[in-house]
A and B are shown apart, each in its own frame.
Chain A
Amino acid sequence: MKILAMAEKELREYVLKPGSISWGIVFPLVFTLAFAIRFGDVDHLAPGLLSISVLFGTTSFVSSSVIFERRLRTFERLLVAPVGYFEIVLAKVLVGSLFGLFVGFTSLLFLRPFTVYGVWNPWLLLLFLTLSAMCFSGLGLYIALIVENPINAMTWLNLIRLPMMFTSGAIVSLLLFPHWFLAVGLATPMTYSVEGLRFSMLHYYDVVNPLYSLLVLLILTLLFLYLSTSRLENLY
């Protein structure tokens, strides 16, 4: 119940914050449309663009809420209440994931006129979208908690997010890079999101088997939840 109460509060308080709107909705949608209009047929690009939208949407939303709460010290309201650190982390990730799903489905709607094929497996797509949203929300939360000055969170996030757009194969397939680059790709969390979404939308993948993508996304989600909880314990 407390997790739901915290999640409801997050939605009411932060959905319309500038960080969430600009980096979470406008940027990925404009980015998606730019590619779609430039290339016309974006079937192969669609999973990558979708993953980028979810990455930016979730990380921006979660980090914005944490930045605001740390600066205005409303975060202390949660910390002084009889609520476990893990519950606070879970509520933030839950709301970030919901926001990510909203951004993901909006991107899908925008992409639809520019794709030839429909979605191969909608349920698998929902599963990969949800896992990607949870994993990226966890990443956003962890970054927002580890920076000393919350104002720097967005800078650090962009230092991670922007390179990931290329190292994950979201825009250029990992198969087109030199062989050694594959290691960089496999070390990028977003790769597993792109590969999983590609399989669920187009019924093929570039380098990672969807089962591995599923497992890695799950493990990374749990890892970010654990790291965020530990960080929260040590931060105050």
Chain B
Amino acid sequence: MEEAIVAENLVKRYGNVEAVRGISFRVKRGEAYALLGPNGAGKTTTVRMLTTLTSITSGEAYVNGHNVKTERLAVRRSIGLVPDISNLYEELTVEENLRFMAKLYDAPRERIAELIKDFNLPAGMKFGKLSSGFKRRVTIAAALIHEPEVLFLDEPTTALDINSAKAVRGLIRLLNKRGMTVFLTTHNMLEAETIPQRIAIIRGGKIVAEGRRNELKKLVGRRILVRLSVEPITSSLLKKLEPYKPAFEEGGIVLEVDEPDEFLRFIFSLRSELGFRIDHICTELPSIEDVFVELTEGGCPCGGCPL
């Protein structure tokens, strides 16, 4: 099977509330895939369904070819989960926690020393005494104890300081480079920009867009921004720039263009004609944040919930 994760029309209902409303996606082996969405969009519920932590109301899901509903133990053997909180045992040391995990997953004892070395972990310290960053690293190490084929990470850098978050992102990229399938949920734009090859944007329990970063960026209504700093700004220059809707900001002018190459040729020809000096010019593509804001703003599509 080429796909590591397959979700078909997944639905999760808690009483009258439908947390996940018929989502479908496929994640290829070795791919890093992110589920991006605001709080309460259904990201964690989706991870919990795929990792057998919560039952599926309807629909089908397969992880590593195993049916999540009927082959729970096989699914659990082949996955690692890093939940949204670092949930290891506070009174046990790092090494004791890893040893316990190794026993649960029938992993060889040598793996504990390997992980302690690779992740540079303080083996003898109690988990409860560690900083948030180290707790996160130990939690990721624990999820890798049995060398799973698929790693699920639920908001892996939440509540981490900038340096710890950067280290965790680097670690996830490295694991993915080594061939591990990574399924990530996040509302952190930097994570979405730097880790996954494909992103699905989820809102109100439904996937509203899916694709590679560049494909998603094309969905945004706004064009490419050009930031321009010139001297002097004359009325004849502004008249020529009028089709690009110029707006003033500190240090220059911001314009919206469709074709940056064409615009650059135009601005340099204008310079020869009007004789101004270009101090600075740069283009800015729409970011994943722009895509996210555009697709998730304006409340939940169902119209009946507070999202």
**A13–B100 CA distance with the chains assembled, in angstroms:** 12
Q: Is B73 an interface residue (CB 8 A)?
A: yes
Q: Is B186 an interface residue (CB 8 A)?
A: no
Q: For residues 21 through 44 of chain A, which have their beta carbon under 8 Å from a beta carbon of chain B?
A: none
Q: Is A236 an interface residue (CB 8 A)?
A: yes
Q: Is A78 an interface residue (CB 8 A)?
A: yes
Q: Are A236 and B53 within 8 A (Cβ)? A: yes
Q: Which residues of A contact B100 (CB under 8 A)?
A: 5, 8-9
Candidates A6, A14, A73, A83; contact of B87 at CB < 8 Å? A73
Interface readout for A45-82 with B: 1 if CB under 8 Å, 0 if not? 00000000000000000000000000011101111111
Known: A80-B52, A82-B73, A236-B55. A74 touches B88 (CB 8 A): yes
Q: Is B83 an interface residue (CB 8 A)?
A: yes
**A74–B92 CA distance with the chains assembled, in angstroms:** 12
Q: Is A12 an interface residue (CB 8 A)?
A: yes
Q: For residues 168 through 205 of chain B, which have their beta carbon under 8 Å from a beta carbon of chain A?
A: none
Q: Are B88 and A82 within 8 A (Cβ)? A: no
**A81–B54 CA distance with the chains assembled, in angstroms:** 14
Q: Are A236 and B89 within 8 A (Cβ)? A: no
Q: Is B77 an interface residue (CB 8 A)?
A: yes
Q: Are B104 and A83 within 8 A (Cβ)? A: yes
Q: Is B297 an interface residue (CB 8 A)?
A: no
**A81–B78 CA distance with the chains assembled, in angstroms:** 10
A232 vs chain B, min Cβ distance (A): 12
Q: Which residues of A contact B96 (CB under 8 A)?
A: 12
Q: Is B241 an interface residue (CB 8 A)?
A: no
Q: Is B51 an interface residue (CB 8 A)?
A: yes
Q: For residues 86 through 123 of chain B, which have their beta carbon under 8 Å from a beta carbon of chain A?
A: 87-92, 96, 100-101, 103-106
Q: Is B81 an interface residue (CB 8 A)?
A: yes
Q: Is B28 an interface residue (CB 8 A)?
A: no
A91 vs chain B, min Cβ distance (A): 11
Q: Which residues of B contact A84 (CB under 8 A)?
A: 73
Q: Which residues of A contact B222 (CB under 8 A)?
A: none
Q: Is B295 an interface residue (CB 8 A)?
A: no
Q: Is B85 an interface residue (CB 8 A)?
A: yes
**A6–B101 CA distance with the chains assembled, in angstroms:** 10
Q: Is B76 an interface residue (CB 8 A)?
A: yes
Q: Give the residue name and chain of the B residue nearest to A233 (CB).
A: B55
A96 vs chain B, min Cβ distance (A): 17
Known: A5-B104, A80-B52, A82-B77. A13 touches B85 (CB 8 A): no
Q: Which residues of B contact A5 (CB under 8 A)?
A: 100, 103-104
Q: Is A203 an interface residue (CB 8 A)?
A: no
Interface readout for B48-62 with A: 1 if CB under 8 Å, 0 if not? 000111110000000
Q: Are B83 and A76 within 8 A (Cβ)? A: yes
Q: Are B91 and A13 within 8 A (Cβ)? A: yes
**A2–B107 CA distance with the chains assembled, in angstroms:** 12
Q: Which residues of A contact B54 (CB under 8 A)?
A: 236
**A74–B106 CA distance with the chains assembled, in angstroms:** 19
Q: Is A116 an interface residue (CB 8 A)?
A: no
Q: In this complex, which of A2, A16, A72 has the most chain B Cβ atoms within 10 angstroms of its Cβ?
A: A72
Q: Which residues of A contact B55 (CB under 8 A)?
A: 236
Q: Which residues of A contact B87 (CB under 8 A)?
A: 72-74, 76-77
Q: Are A12 and B104 within 8 A (Cβ)? A: no
**A8–B100 CA distance with the chains assembled, in angstroms:** 9
Q: Are B76 and A80 within 8 A (Cβ)? A: yes
Q: Give the residue name and chain of the B residue nearest to A16 (CB).
A: B91
Q: In this complex, which of B54, B81, B104 has the most chain A Cβ atoms within 10 angstroms of its Cβ?
A: B104
**A79–B81 CA distance with the chains assembled, in angstroms:** 11
**A6–B106 CA distance with the chains assembled, in angstroms:** 13
**A101–B260 CA distance with the chains assembled, in angstroms:** 78
A9 vs chain B, min Cβ distance (A): 5
B49 vs chain A, min Cβ distance (A): 11
Q: Are B89 and A73 within 8 A (Cβ)? A: no
**A77–B101 CA distance with the chains assembled, in angstroms:** 9
Q: Are B89 and A74 within 8 A (Cβ)? A: yes
Candidates A6, A74, A76; contact of B53 at CB < 8 Å? A76
**A21–B79 CA distance with the chains assembled, in angstroms:** 37
Q: Are A81 and B76 within 8 A (Cβ)? A: yes
Q: Are B92 and A82 within 8 A (Cβ)? A: no
B69 vs chain A, min Cβ distance (A): 13
Q: Are B89 and A13 within 8 A (Cβ)? A: yes
Q: Are B103 and A80 within 8 A (Cβ)? A: no
Candidates A6, A12, A72, A83; contact of B92 at CB < 8 Å? A12
Q: Is A1 an interface residue (CB 8 A)?
A: yes
**A203–B211 CA distance with the chains assembled, in angstroms:** 77
| Residues of A bordering B, CB below 8 Å | 1-2, 5-6, 8-9, 12-14, 16, 72-74, 76-84, 236
Across the A-B interface, the 4 shortest Cβ-Cβ residue pairs: A5-B103, A81-B104, A73-B87, A82-B77
Q: List 5 A-B contacts (CB under 8 A).
A: A5-B103, A12-B89, A12-B92, A76-B87, A77-B101
Extra A-B contacts (9), CB below 8 Å, given A73-B83, A77-B89: A1-B103, A2-B103, A2-B104, A5-B100, A8-B100, A12-B89, A14-B91, A72-B87, A74-B89
